[in-house]
């Protein structure tokens, strides 16, 4: 990414998107110096919100294991 700008990838980053977890996967804009901008989480459907809420305990456990 030496001179590239505007590259968007999903990354597992420290985030306050969900108060229940300290890290979350979200799209970020990358540039020569790393993350340039956090693009946030897209609008979720009710079904996706339900699945996300069910995943929170698993996310917490994975984060705890990785810290």
Report the alpha-carbon distance of residue 57 to residue 20 in Å, rounded: 9
Per-residue pLDDT tens digits of the chain, which is 67 residues long: 677 788 999 998 888 888 899 998 889 999 888 899 989 888 999 999 999 999 999 999 999 998 8
Give the residue extent of every domain in the chain: 7-66
Round the CA-based radius of gyration of the chain to a whole number and report it.
14
pLDDT computed for residue 52 by the predictor:
93
Burial class (CB in 10 A: 0-12, 13-18, 19+), 30: middle
pLDDT computed for residue 59 by the predictor:
92
Token pair 């979350």 is found at: 24
Q: Please provide the distance, in angstroms rounded to a whole number, between the alpha carbons at the two ends of the chain.
A: 28
Tokens of 23: 């890290």
pLDDT computed for residue 54 by the predictor:
96
- In 3D space, the residue among 14, 20, 13, 25 whose CA is nearest the CA of residue 54 turns out to be 20
């Amino acid at each position: 990414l030496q001179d590239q700008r505007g590259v968007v990838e999903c990354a597992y980053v420290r985030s306050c998107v969900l108060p229940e977890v300290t890290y979350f996967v979200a799209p970020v804009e990358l540039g020569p110096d790393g993350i340039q901008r956090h693009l946030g989480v897209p609008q979720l459907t009710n079904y996706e919100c339900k699945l996300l809420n069910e995943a929170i305990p698993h996310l917490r456990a994975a984060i705890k294991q990785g810290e």
